Chains A and B, each alone.
Chain A
Amino acid sequence: QVHLQESGPGLVKPSQTLSLTCSVSDDSLNSGRYFWSWIRQPAGKRLEWLGRIYTSGSVTYNPSLESRITISLDTSKRQFSLKLNSLTAADTAFYYCARDRDGRGYFDPWGQGTLVSVSP
């Protein structure tokens, strides 16, 4: 069973860039069968889909973040990454990576999540 694990800083200053990495436990990142997404959840609020990447490197972003977000992947390391710039307090949230089965937009499994706080 594949496992996903997020890693990155827990605290970032306003206006800086957040960099998170998701490590995938098997070779499915390179299989061409899945899409790979980032999703976040501010405390007590609904989930927000940020964007996704396919094995080919093709990306789709949430238009609300399109000017600030970059998702990339490194199949040799079994990792995909999120960069979000120009951070504000509104970006404080739990950040999850997740696998999108068949590209249909259903997420399973998810990583355990990592809390990112944006604060001076």
Chain B
Amino acid sequence: DIQMTQSPSSVSASIGDRVTITCRASQSIGNALAWYQQKPGKAPKLLIYGASSLQSGVPSRFSGSGSGTDFTLTVSSLKPEDFATYYCQQAKTFPITFGQGTRLEIK
């Protein structure tokens, strides 16, 4: 299985800050990567697919980049509703696997 490792595991930031979360795959996955946002008690929400394509309806302050094994999710200017847990997910090979999550907290 492809192992997905996110860093950091948690990050504290303030409203208006720029935040970057990193995801590393244990082997090359091309651009077959998605990012999800999950709030407590809710299902994950697709933000980014194909490493850098913004899902319809997702604010443009979210962006994704990377290819191969190293990927990033950036939130350009944090809003209160962005504080949540973020997961990366590889879609290159079965079984589909997820990162362990990055918790974004208010400083």
Contacts and interface: CB of A to CB of B under 8 A. Distances in A.
Interface of A: 45-49, 60, 62-64, 96, 98, 101, 104-113
B95 A46 contact: no
Nearest to B98: A47
Main DSSP-derived SS at the B contact region: loop
A47 B91 contact: no
A49 B97 contact: yes
A50 B45 CA distance: 18
Contact of A96 (B43, B49, B97, B100): B43
Contacts, number: 57
Nearest to A102: B49
Contacts of B87: 46-47
B98 A48 contact: yes
B34 interface: yes
Nearest to A51: B95
Interface of B: 32, 34, 36, 42-46, 49-50, 55, 87, 89, 91-92, 94-101
Contacts of A105: 32, 34, 89, 91-92, 96
Contacts of A109: 43, 46
Nearest to B90: A105
Contacts of B42: 112
Contacts of A106: 34, 46, 49-50, 89, 91
Nearest to A65: B95
Contact of A47 (B44, B46, B49): B44
A105 B4 CA distance: 15
Residue of B34, B46, B95, B99 with highest tally of chain A CB at under 10 A: B95
